[in-house]
Every structure is written in structure tokens, then in C-alpha cells.
């Protein structure tokens, strides 16, 4: 096979040419010398001009605990670049086995979707001008952005992304192993139109070949190549250069972008957004000592967004500064006030009905105990455990039946056994009871709402259920745990029976309760939960006085496109099977047409995880469970939420101070029931606040 005259590789060594030619004939090269070593001059990849800059000195994309970036022009492209480029938060630390690689024939390399003859070891060996190199585009975010706009038009670029991830260089890599990915893209004007060049970056430590180029000496080898023009329609280029690259986002849109990013990253990196509120300088005295030590005297003034993740256990921060933009969150932390004496107020939990319902449920099961009930489900649990064993632990999404995807943790929850048998720190019982008791000491009522996992609501989509005339309860130990909480005075709002009943009565074509390719509920599922909660809240003796003059909320139906947060957690070769879904949301609006927003001054507070954020702060806005609870109650509610941090979201609430908390009448704690089992962090002990503190 003869190399094309278009080949821009002035640095190829003769040995490398022999290796490439041998590989092209399908035989193993005599040495594993990389065909594109870095020999000639070096360029300066991914320089973003003046639009995005890293501020913290000494930042190391492999070891740092914080990344601080300033975005002068908050287009979606610049925001995505600030979040994704060389970010220590999303570094893959999975050890890669070093294997001797083989370069496949040209027509097979990257499945032929890149122009093989264009591959170069340095950005200066590409035709990109200095101005074009100064406008890098993060490839995966722009593909996702295009997919939401028009999946079919974006599909060729999706194919390119998957082909690059899937290239194993003849090593027969295992499921979920990817040695490289496209990180950055550049648009080049040829005079006849636009073409796209991409940077392919190898995982740190990958040693497939000798002489792999690392132009910027950051520990991640990279090469460059052109995407075949057939995979880049002119209409796609137009949408990138217009909506993605050029239009600045306003404060609310930036807020939405940050919430969507934290929600999308959560399953892999345990990310969350801090409420910046009135914070003027970060870090604060409450920031982890290791983070403060790394920053030294460096301080960030007026941060727009602070995101924290725990991808490998210890917290990592992303801080974004966006000058000149009014974030207009409407979610500023409520001011501290002196702790009020409640003047004889008393909490009014109702646990009798729950205990009666759970007792009747156990009796109807035909088993004398929850242990016997769980034992009878062993054959079903074994099927689920086989699913889990077949897939490496690093694969977070598993394929069920009928196009349904399931989060690994939700399957672990239903097969994990007695929740009270977990070790200290993992058993949530004492933490929940202590929080209930603390709120009671302030005269604040409390409702616990564990949100059923999708696997519990759709057991028949996990595995085939034989001989059942109704949908089975997959986790009797979850029911046992609710009964134990009820006996300890915790009022639990149990959504599972309502959802299973709705499923038994559903007709073909109806909107499901949960999104098939996502961990979360649908518009239908969350509105059912809001109605169930509102019914209980209206029965509190303080309800009429607290809510006063009703607000006549209206609703507007909206549609949007969503990929599902589980698709990207599948092995790359399986992702193409799942296309973005057209979903519906029901926005809550004031009579004048203003979109509903949560109110920190409300006496009813929803404390939750991403289930309370979807539809409210991501997907579409003003359509989440808190918005629909407000509509049902004819008055606004407060929302404090944490992506994936439902068990420990109390920390956000406590930072408001005890005075602010004592003004509440009710706290509703909502989180995914899967976090009751083997939550990635320990269930933290309650730290009683004395005053408002920063982040």
C-alpha cells in the first residue's frame, strides 16, 4: 500500500515506514515503533486565544485538586472548552495494561472514518492557521449538542467518535477499554468550504508503541487527523459556527448549562454544584485544607460557578469566573436569623398508615418474614447478579429488556441484602433518625421520600419474570427498612406501590414513569410524586395559615431531546444502538407567563438529589417535582439539591444556618432509594450549625 502524496508527515523514520507497511499487509511489525513519532518542530495545541484561560498557577491535569478558569465570552463552545479541556476532574485513572500495538491497514484504522493519510504528530503539520488553532472546539460536547438539535445529521460525527474510541491497535482490548479519544476539533477554511481536523489523545500511561508523540509534554500522547468530508455536512458546520461558537449565553442559560453538566457527569464523577449565593471570595475557611494548601494565597473573586466532584474519593473543584454576567440565580442562600422559639409548635408525623400498609403487603406476599420473602426471590436475584458479573465494574450502565438501560448501583441495591446489616457509615438508619430528631427540636416537620429505582418500577425490563400475575417487589429488604424507620417515628412517603399500580393499569403508548435510557423519572413520574406529596402536606394543621393567598399557576407543555445519562456509560460499541429521545415536560408558570422558580423564603423545603433537579434545572426549566408541588399547593416551595449527593445534601442546608432552618415548617428529603445501599460516601453524622457559612 503506497502512502498518498497528501501525507503531511515530514518526521516519519524509515523504521516507522516499515512498521506501517507491514501493518498494512496485515502482519505484525518487527518492532512497535509508532508510525507518527514527534521529530520535527512543535506546535502549541489547544491555545484558546483570550476567551478561556486557566488562572490557578501550577495547575497539573493529572494531580491538581482544583481547576480555575475564566471565560471572557460565555458561548457554549467556550463554556464546554473550560469544562472539558485537560480537566483533572474527568481524567480517566483506570490503569491501562501496556501492550504492544499493531497499526491496522489504512482502510481499517478508525474504521476508515478519518483520512488516514492526513495523520500527523504535530499540529503544525496540519493546514490549520494560527487563528483557527486559537478556536478549538471540544469534540464530545459539540457532538452531544448537535445530537440534541438533529440526531440524524449529527450521526456521522457520532460514528467517528465511537470509531476512535473503539480502535484497539490489534490488542483485542476488553469491554469498556478505550486507549484514546478525540478531545479537540478545529474547523479549517479551505476556500471552498470547511473541513474538520481533530486531536486524538491517548490515555495517560498508554504505551502501545515506542516514540508516541506528546507535543505539549503533559503526559498524554496525541496525534492529529482530518475527518472525512462526507461525515461533515455543510448544515452541521453552519450550526456549529452559529449557535455553538458565536452566541453568548445569559446568566440563566449559564446556570442551566452548569446544572446539566453536573447532572451528566455525576454517574462517573460524583459531581455537584455549590450554591454560590452572596459568596465574594473562594476558597473559604470551610474549604478542604488540601485544596486551600494547593492554592496558597491565590483567591478567586466573584466565582460564577463552583462544581465539586469526587471521581476518586477526594474532592476536586472546578471554579469558573465569568466577568460581566449577572447570573441572576434567584437561589441565593437565605440569610441567617436568630433561632426562633416556636412557641409550643410541635411536629405531627403520621407513621401508622405506612406501618399498616407495609404489614398488609408482607401478609399478602405469603411469607412470614422479609428474610423468607427475599429468599424466595433468589432465582430472580441470581439473574440480575449474572448481568452484573458479565460486565466489568467500571461499566456503570447495563442493558435490560425492551430498550431499557439500568444504572449498576440500582441493581446492586435490589440484590444487596438487609440494609441494616451494612457496616457503620453505610447503614443510613441512625443518620435519618437523627436528622428527624434535629428538625423536631426546631419544630419542623419531616417527610422522607426514597425515590424507587427504575429497576424496582420496571422489574420486567431488567429480567424476564416468569409466572407472575403482577409485577413483583424486587427488594423486600427495602420494605423492611421503611418499616423500621416508621417504628422509629420517621414518616416515609412510599411511592413504589403507587408506581407499580400505575404500571399494572398502563396502556400501550402511554408515557412511562421513568426514562428508558436515563436513571431518572419522566414528567409523568414526577408529577405523580408531587401530587402524592401535596395530598399529605395539605393535611398539616399549619398548611392554610402558612400558604395564605393561593397562586393560580398555569402550565405549558414543552418538548426537548435528551440522550439519557446511561448511554455514555455503556461500552462504546453499544452506544450507537440508543438514539436521543423526544421527551415532554410540563412547565409551571405564573399567571403573567413568568416561569416558576423556587423560593428560598418558602416555609416548605424540598431537599434532594438529581431527581429534584431534572426538569427543574436540567432538561427543561421550571418543570421539576418542586415546581409541580408548588402548583399543587398553590404556593412556592424552596429547593436545596445536590446531584447524586442526596444522602449528604444536608450539608448545603446547614450552611444556611440554624436561624434560617428554624423558619421552615416542613423539610421533605427526597433521594434515590439506591443510595440506601453502599452509598459511595459514608452517611455523614449531623453537624448542627450555629451560623451561616460559605462554601
Which pLDDT tens digit goes with each residue over 89-103? 998 765 555 667 888
Phi and psi angles of residue 644, each rounded to the nearest 5 degrees, phi first? 70, 0
Which pLDDT tens digit goes with each residue over 356-387? 999 999 999 999 999 999 999 999 999 999 99
Q: What percent of the chain has pLDDT over 90?
A: 60
**What was the pLDDT predicted at 330?**
39
What is the DSSP code (8-state) at residue 614?
Answer: B
Secondary structure (3-state) at 195: strand
Distance, CA of 480 to CA of 482 (rounded, Å):
5
C-alpha cell at 225: 487527523
Distance, CA of 519 to CA of 91 (rounded, Å):
23
Question: Using H for helix, E for strand and C for coil, what is the string for 108-149?
Answer: CHHHHCEEEEEEECCHHHCCCCHHHHCCCEEHHHHHHHHHHH
Question: Using H for helix, E for strand and C for coil, what is the string for 373-410?
Answer: HHHHCHHHHHHHHHHHHHCCCCCCEEECCCCCEEEHHH
Which pLDDT tens digit goes with each residue over 454-466? 999 999 999 988 7
Which pLDDT tens digit goes with each residue over 329-349? 433 333 333 333 343 356 778
Strand blocks (E) in 190-347: 194-202, 222-227, 272-273, 281-282, 300-301, 305-309, 316-321
Q: What percent of the chain has pLDDT over 70?
A: 87
Contacts 24+ apart (CB under 8 A), 4-10: 4/117, 6/115, 6/117, 6/118, 7/117, 7/118, 8/118, 8/120, 8/125, 8/126, 8/127, 9/36, 9/119, 9/120, 9/121, 9/125, 10/40, 10/125
Distance, CA of 67 to CA of 497 (rounded, Å):
45
Q: Are 117 and 12 in contact (CB under 8 A)?
A: no
**What was the pLDDT predicted at 96?**
56
User: Is residue 690 over pLDDT 70?
Assistant: no
Q: Which H or E run contains 94?
A: none
Name beta bridge partners: 273.
307
Provide the sign of the torsion angle of the four alpha carbons 425, 431, 433, 434, taken in this order.
Answer: positive
> For the chain, what is the mean pLDDT?
86
User: Is residue 202 over pLDDT 60?
Assistant: yes
**What percentage of the chain's residues is helix, strand, coil (to nearest 5)?**
35, 15, 50
**What was the pLDDT predicted at 30?**
32
With 0-12 CB in 10 A as exposed, 13-18 as middle and 19+ as buried, what is 286? exposed
What is the DSSP code (8-state) at residue 240?
Answer: I
**What was the pLDDT predicted at 8?**
31
Q: Which of 368, 464, 459 is nearest to 415 (CA)?
A: 459
Which pLDDT tens digit goes with each residue over 284-306? 988 999 999 999 999 999 999 99
Report residue 645's pLDDT band, with 50, 70 and 90 as the boundaries: confident
Block residue for cell numbers 445569559: 250
Report residue 33's pLDDT band, with 50, 70 and 90 as the boundaries: low
Distance, CA of 63 to CA of 160 (rounded, Å):
30
Cβ atoms within 10 Å of 505's Cβ, excluding its own: 8
User: Is residue 24 over pLDDT 80?
Assistant: no
Which pLDDT tens digit goes with each residue over 58-91? 999 989 999 999 999 999 999 999 999 999 999 8
Q: Are 585 and 619 in contact (CB under 8 A)?
A: yes
Q: How far is CA 352 from CA 97, 114, 358, 414, 503, in A?
A: 57, 65, 10, 26, 26
Q: How do strand 194-202 and strand 281-282 relate by DSSP bridges?
A: unpaired
Report residue 259's pLDDT band, with 50, 70 and 90 as the boundaries: confident
Secondary structure (3-state) at 10: coil
Amino acid at each position: 500500500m503506497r502512502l498518498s502524496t497528501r501525507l503531511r508527515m515530514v518526521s516519519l523514520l524509515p523504521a516507522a515506514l516499515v512498521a506501517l507497511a507491514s501493518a498494512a499487509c496485515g502482519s505484525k511489525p518487527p518492532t512497535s515503533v509508532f508510525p507518527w513519532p514527534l521529530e520535527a518542530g512543535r506546535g502549541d495545541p489547544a491555545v484558546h486565544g483570550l476567551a478561556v484561560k486557566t488562572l490557578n498557577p501550577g495547575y497539573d491535569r493529572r494531580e491538581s485538586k482544583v481547576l480555575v478558569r475564566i471565560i471572557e465570552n460565555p458561548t457554549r463552545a467556550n463554556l464546554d472548552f473550560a469544562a472539558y479541556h485537560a480537566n483533572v476532574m474527568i481524567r480517566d485513572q483506570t490503569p491501562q495494561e501496556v501492550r504492544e500495538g499493531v497499526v491496522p491497514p489504512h482502510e481499517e484504522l478508525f474504521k476508515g472514518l478519518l483520512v488516514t493519510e492526513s495523520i500527523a504528530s504535530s499540529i503544525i503539520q496540519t493546514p490549520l492557521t494560527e487563528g483557527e488553532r486559537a478556536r478549538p472546539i471540544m469534540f464530545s460536547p459539540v457532538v452531544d449538542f448537535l445530537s440534541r438539535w438533529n440526531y440524524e445529521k449529527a450521526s456521522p460525527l457520532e460514528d467517528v467518535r465511537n470509531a476512535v474510541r473503539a480502535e484497539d491497535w490489534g490488542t483485542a482490548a476488553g469491554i469498556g477499554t478505550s486507549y484514546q479519544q478525540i478531545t479537540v476539533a478545529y474547523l479549517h477554511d479551505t476556500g471552498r468550504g470547511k473541513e474538520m481536523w481533530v486531536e486524538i489523545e491517548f490515555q495517560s500511561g498508554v504505551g502501545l508503541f515506542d516514540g508516541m508523540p506528546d507535543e505539549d509534554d503533559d503526559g498524554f500522547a496525541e496525534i492529529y487527523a482530518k475527518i472525512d468530508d462526507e461525515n461533515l455536512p455543510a448544515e452541521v458546520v453552519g450550526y456549529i459556527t452559529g449557535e455553538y461558537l458565536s452566541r453568548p449565553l445569559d446568566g440563566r442559560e449559564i446556570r442551566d448549562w452548569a446544572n446539566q453538566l453536573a447532572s451528566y457527569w455525576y454517574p462517573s464523577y460524583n459531581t455537584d454544584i455549590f450554591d454560590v449565593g452572596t459568596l465574594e471570595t473562594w476558597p473559604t475557611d470551610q474549604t478542604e485544607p488540601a485544596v486551600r494548601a494547593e492554592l496558597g494565597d491565590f483567591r478567586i473573586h466573584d466565582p460564577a460557578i463552583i462544581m465539586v466532584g469526587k471521581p476518586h474519593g477526594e474532592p476536586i473543584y472546578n471554579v469558573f469566573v465569568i466577568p460581566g454576567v449577572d447570573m441572576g440565580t434567584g437561589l441565593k442562600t437565605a440569610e441567617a436569623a436568630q433561632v426562633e422559639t416556636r412557641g409550643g409548635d410541635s411536629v405531627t408525623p403520621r407513621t401508622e398508615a405506612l406501618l399498616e400498609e407495609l404489614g398488609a403487603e408482607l401478609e399478602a406476599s405469603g411469607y412470614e418474614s422479609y428474610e423468607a420473602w427475599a429468599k424466595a426471590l433468589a432465582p430472580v436475584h441470581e439473574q440480575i447478579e449474572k448481568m452484573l458479573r458479565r460486565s466489568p465494574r467500571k461499566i456503570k450502565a447495563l442493558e435490560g429488556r425492551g430498550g431499557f438501560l439500568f444504572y449498576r448501583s440500582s441493581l446492586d441495591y435490589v440484590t444487596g441484602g438487609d440494609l441494616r446489616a451494612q457496616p457503620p457509615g453505610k447503614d443510613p438508619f441512625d443518620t435519618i433518625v437523627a436528622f428527624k430528631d434535629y428538625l423536631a427540636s426546631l419544630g419542623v416537620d419531616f417527610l422522607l421520600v426514597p425515590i424507587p429505582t427504575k429497576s424496582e418500577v420496571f422489574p420486567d425490563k431488567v429480567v424476564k419474570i416468569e409466572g407472575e400475575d403482577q409485577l413483583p417487589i424486587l427488594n423486600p429488604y427495602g420494605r423492611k427498612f421503611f418499616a423500621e424507620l416508621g417504628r422509629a417515628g420517621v414518616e416515609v412517603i412510599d411511592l413504589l406501590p403507587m408506581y407499580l399500580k400505575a404500571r399494572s393499569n398502563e396502556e400501550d403508548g402511554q408515557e412511562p414513569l421513568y426514562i428508558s435510557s436515563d436513571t431518572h423519572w419522566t414528567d409523568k413520574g414526577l408529577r405523580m410524586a408531587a401530587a402524592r406529596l401535596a395530598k399529605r402536606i395539605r393535611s398539616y394543621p399549619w398548611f392554610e395559615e402558612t400558604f395564605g393567598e393561593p397562586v393560580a399557576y398555569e402550565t405549558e407543555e414543552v418538548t426537548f431531546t435528551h440522550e439519557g445519562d446511561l448511554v455514555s456509560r455503556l461500552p462504546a460499541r453499544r452506544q450507537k444502538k440508543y438514539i436521543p429521545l423526544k421527551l415532554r415536560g410540563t412547565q409551571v408558570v405564573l399567571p403573567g407567563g413568568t416561569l416558576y422558580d423556587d423560593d428560598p423564603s418558602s416555609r416548605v423545603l424540598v431537599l434532594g438529589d438529581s431527581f429534584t433537579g431534572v426538569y427543574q434545572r436540567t432538561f427543561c426549566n421550571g418543570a421539576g417535582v418542586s415546581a409541580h408541588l408548588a402548583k399543587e399547593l398553590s404556593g412556592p416551595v424552596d429547593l436545596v439539591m445536590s446531584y447524586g449527593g442526596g444522602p449528604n445534601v444536608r450539608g448545603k442546608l446547614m450552611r444556611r444556618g440554624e436561624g434560617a432552618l428554624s423558619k421552615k415548617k416542613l423539610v421533605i428529603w427526597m433521594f434515590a432509594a439506591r443510595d440506601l445501599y453502599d452509598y459511595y460516601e459514608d452517611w455523614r453524622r449531623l453537624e448542627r450549625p450555629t451560623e451561616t457559612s460559605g462554601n
